[in-house]
Structure 1
Amino acid sequence: MIHFDCHAHVYEDVVVNGAVRYLPKRPAPLQDWLELQTDHGISGGVIVQVSFLGTDNSQLLHALESLPKGRFAGVAVIAPDTCETEIAALAANGVKGIRWNLVAGADLPDFGSEEISTLVADLAKHGMHIEVQLESSRLAPVLSDFAALPLPVVIDHMGLPETTADQEPWLNKLEQIENRSNLYAKLSAPYRGTGSTEHAKRLIGLLGPDKYIWGSDWPHTRHEDRATYAGLKVELGELIDDRKAVQTLYGLTLA
C-alpha cells in the first residue's frame, strides 16, 4: 500500500534561476498539494527541488518550516562543491537527499574525482541520499558506479524508460549487477518516458521488497494537461508497501 507522496514540487513564486528548459505558468502552492494528499489518502511526503529554481532551495526550506518533520522531508539541489557546513544545515532543516538532474545531455558526475568523493562522503555522514534523474540508455553505462556508492541512491521516475519493459537498457543492466543493496526506485511520472506498470513490475522483481517509493510528480511540469495526481498509485497500490523505504530514505513514519 502507498502512504506517502515522495515526489512533488512546491513553489509559491515562479522565478528563474539561471538557464531553464521550462518555466511553468503558475505557482504550485503548498496548500494545494496538502489538499490533494487529503483527497487521495496520503499521509505525508517529500518536496523535491524543482529544476527552474536551480540551487536556490529557499522556497523548499520555507515550505518545510511549516510542516511536521515526522511526516514531511525535502530533497535539495546543490553544487558539487557545496561545503559540509551547508549540507549539515540542509539536513537540520529536513532535507534528506540531493537531486542530480542529469537529463538532456547534462554532464555526468566524475565518480573518481575528489570533488564527488568528498560530496558523497559528506552526504553519507549526514544520513542523506542521492536521487538521480537520467534517461535509461545513459543510466545503464553508469549504473554500476551508482550501485557502488556508500549511500542510498534513488533512481527517479523509473529510470525514464525508453522502450518496452523487457528490453529496457537500465533494467537489463540492473539485472547484471550482483549487489543492488543501496539502489531504490521511484515509481512515478510514466509520462516522462515510456513508463508503464510493466516497467514497474519488472523493477519490483529485480530489487526485491521494501525498495520502492511512489511520487505524484505534482504539478506535472511540462505535462500539466495530461497527467493526474494519482498517477500509478492505483495500479501499484496492491503491489508495494512504501513504509520501510520511506522511513529508510526520509525518516518519515505514519502519524
Structure 2
Amino acid sequence: MTHTNAAATRTPVPNSAGTDSPSVLVPNNACDAHLHIYDDRFPQAVAAAAGLELATVHQYRLLQKRLGTSRAVIVTPRSYGTDNRVTVDAIAQLGLNNARGVAVLRSDATDQSMDELDRAGIRGLRFSLYTPKNAAASFDMVEPLANRIHRLGWHLQLHWTADQFVEHAEMLKRLPCPLVLDHMGRLPQPLGLSHPAVKLIEQLLSNGNTWIKLSGAYLDSQVGEVNGFSDVDAVARHWIAQAPDRLVWGSDWPHPTETHKPDDAKMLDRLMRWTQHQDIIEKILVHNPAQLYGFER
C-alpha cells in the first residue's frame, strides 16, 4: 500500500474544500466509485446541480492527484437526463483501464444503444428517484429495464429514499441483476438503523447480489460537517460489519446537491473512523470495485 501524503499536493480543486491530502493509507488502484462530470460541450436538460464551478475531467484529475485514487466510476447526473455522452466522453478521456460509467436510460432505449454504451465502458443503469423532480425515468421502468440489461452483466444503481426501498421491496427481490444502493441506502437521521429499510437491505445483502456505496454522508446527516457528519457513522459501520466484500467508496464529487462543498480528503478519511482494518479499507477501495465494475484484478 502507498501513503499519499508523501506526494501531497496543495493545489485547490474546484468543488472541494481544503487542500490537504487524506491521512488514510490509499492503496494502489484505489477507486472513486461515484462521481459526476459536468461539461459545457454537452447541453444540460434540466438545472439540477447546486453551486458548481467547472467539473470537467481536467478538474477531476486534480482531485485524483490530491486523493491518490487512480480508478473512477462516472455516473450520469440528473442534469443531462438520458443523454449519456458526457459520461462516455469522460470514460474515454480517463481510459477504459481506469474508468467505468453508469448511465441513465428510459424504456425506449434500444438494445443497439445499450450495446454501444457497454463497449464504451458503461456497467450499470441508474434510477435516481429519491425525488420526482428532474427524474429522467420512473419506477415502472425499473423491472423491465433490469430484465433487459441482465444480458450485458450490468447492475442497477438505485438512488432511492429508505421509504421507497420498503415500498418496492417485493420488486427488488425479483430483479435478476445486481443492485447497487446509493449513499448508504439513504437512511434518514435520526431514525438511522431503526428504519424498516435496514432489515430489507440486510436480506438483499444476504442474497449476495447487492452492493452499497459508502458515499454522500452529508445527504442524511443532521449534525453537519462541523460535527463530521458523525450521526451517519453507525450506518456505515453497520454495513461494513454486514458485507465488507460488497461495499465501495465514492466521493460524490462535485457534490451537486451541496452549495457548500465538503472537504473530499476528510470524506475519504472517514473510512478510518468506520473501520480500523486496513485490509477492509483495501477491499472497499480496490478489490470490491474491481469485481463490481470489471477492472483488472
Which TM class, normalised by the smaller chain length? 0.7 to 0.9
Equivalent residue, structure 2, for 1:247: 290
**Which deviations, in whole Å up to 9, do the C-alpha atoms of 1:64-104 show, x marking residues without a partner?**
12222121101111112312111111000011111101111
Rounded Cα–Cα distance in structure 2 between residues aligned with 1:88 and 1:159: 29
Whether contact under 8 Å (1:147, 1:180) holds in the other structure is no
Could you list the runs of 5+ residues in structure 1 that have no partner in the other structure?
none
Q: 2:7 maps to which residue?
A: none
Match 2:199 to one of 157, 172, 175: 172
> How is 1:83-162 mapped onto 2 (pairs within 5 angstroms)?
83-105=110-132, 109-110=139-140, 116-162=142-188
Structure with bigger gyration radius: 2
The alpha-carbon distance between structure 1 residues 231 and 182, as it changes in their structure 2 partners (threshold 3 A), is farther
Q: Which has the higher helix share?
A: 2
Output the amino acid matched with 2:177.
Answer: L
- What is the CA distance between 1:228 and its match in structure 2? 2.1
SS of structure 2 residue aligned to 1:132 = strand
What TM-score do you get using the length of structure 1 for normalisation? 0.86
Q: Distance in 2 between matches of 1:91 and 1:22?
A: 27
**CA pair 137-121 structure 1, distance change in 2 beyond 3 A:** closer
What is the percentage of aligned positions where both structures have the same residue? Answer: 27
Query: Deviation of residue 116 (structure 1)?
Result: 4.9
The answer for the alignment partner of 1:192 in structure 2 is 219
Q: Which residue is equivalent to 1:210?
A: 245
Q: Which residue of 2 aligns with 1:80?
A: 107
CA distance in structure 1 between the partners assigned to 2:204 and 2:118 by the alignment: 31
Structure 1 residues 120-129 or 164-173, which shifts more? 164-173
Q: 1:244 is aligned with what amino acid? A: H
- Describe the SS at the equivalent of 2:269: helix
Aligned length: 248
What is residue 31 of structure 2 aligned with on the other side?
4
Give ranges in structure 2 of 5+ residues lacking alignment: 1-25, 222-230
User: What is the alpha-carbon distance in structure 2 between the residues aligned to residue 235 and residue 24 of structure 1?
Assistant: 24
Distance 1:100 1:144 in 2: 17
Deviation at 1:166, TM superposition (A): 2.9
Task: Give the Cα–Cα distance (whole angstroms) in 2 for the partners of residues 228 and 235 of structure 1.
Answer: 11
Displacement of 1:23 in angstroms is 5.7
Instruction: Note closer, same or farther for the CA distance 1:109–1:126 as it changes in structure 2 (3 Å cut).
Output: same
2:52 pairs with 1:16: no
Equivalent of residue 54 in structure 1, options 72, 81, 89: 81
Moved >6 Å (runs of 4+)? none
- Cα distance, 1:175–1:116 mapped onto 2, change above 3 Å: closer
Q: TM-score, normalised by structure 2?
A: 0.75
Secondary structure, counterpart of 1:66 in structure 2: helix
Segment of structure 1 superposing worse, 223-232 or 28-37: 223-232
